[in-house]
Amino acid sequence: MEFIHTEIKDCVIIKPTVFEDNRGYFFESFNEQKFNQLTGLNIHFVQDNQAKSNRGILRGLHFQKGEHAQAKLVRVLQGKVIDVAVDLRKDSPTYLQHVAVELSAENNLQLFVPRGFAHGYSVLEDNTIFFYKCDNFYNKESEGGLFYADPKLNINWQLNEDEIILSEKDKLLMNVAY
């Protein structure tokens, strides 16, 4: 398992060691002991979520506030996405900067999104299955979000504007206050 550090502190891409033979493949997708040792963090995941979407769906940018903030470990089981984490930690030197990475069933990459980040993804293939672990339970009253097309964030979702399909909730999200 290889940990690839990004430009943003604590936001890490994880590349598993894949063992392939004539039967198929095997890899360890998560090991809490290795994860905590290699990141220097102490993360304990308590909830798993899964979503299926078609090309053009854009989910995000979402976050949980306060004591209900969540760190996430995200990956794609089938299909392909552009996954984005935006640093919302006001005291961070990378405040409002983002990491964008292609996650797919083929590359098996994962992205660790620390607490204090907004998270979202755009779906690049039909029948994409997205899976993620959270280190805190979801709390509806603590949810927040940013509008995906905020010009201050300047995120390339790798979709044409006319392809993007948003939930009614995501259509109402606001730009960053600046």
CATH of the domain at 65: 2.60.120.10
DSSP summary character for residue 8: S
Polymer length of the chain = 178
Domain tally, the chain: 1
What pLDDT is stored for residue 171 in this prediction?
95
In a domain, 145, yes or no: yes
- 132 in catalytic set: yes
Task: Exactly one of 62, 119, 121, 148 is catalytic; name it.
Answer: 62
Residue 131 near residue 50, CB atoms below 8 Å: yes
What pLDDT is stored for residue 38 in this prediction?
86
- 25 in catalytic set: no
Where residue 22 falls (left for φ over 0; alpha for ψ -120 to 50; beta otherwise) is: alpha
Cα gap 138→143, rounded to integer Å: 8
In a domain, 17, yes or no: no
Taking alpha carbons only, the member of 118, 110, 124 closest to residue 57 is 124
In a domain, 112, yes or no: yes
Residue 46 near residue 137, CB atoms below 8 Å: yes
What pLDDT is stored for residue 178 in this prediction?
52
DSSP summary character for residue 38: H
Sheet holding 2-5, edge to edge: 2-5, 12-15, 110-113, 72-78, 128-134, 47-53
Q: pLDDT tens string for the chain (178 positions)?
A: 899 999 998 999 999 999 999 999 999 999 999 999 988 889 999 999 999 999 999 999 999 999 999 999 999 999 999 999 999 999 999 999 999 999 999 999 999 999 999 999 999 999 999 999 999 999 999 999 999 999 999 999 999 999 999 999 999 999 886 5
Residue 98: phi and psi, rounded to 5, are -135, 160
In a domain, 20, yes or no: no
- Token pair belonging to 56: 């053009």
Taking alpha carbons only, the member of 80, 58, 36, 44 closest to residue 145 is 58
In a domain, 142, yes or no: yes
Parent domain of 97: 45-171
- Integer-rounded Cα radius of gyration of the chain: 16
In a domain, 30, yes or no: no
Residue type present at position 167: S
In a domain, 14, yes or no: no
In a domain, 75, yes or no: yes
What pLDDT is stored for residue 177 in this prediction?
63
Task: Exactly one of 98, 119, 121, 132 is catalytic; name it.
Answer: 132
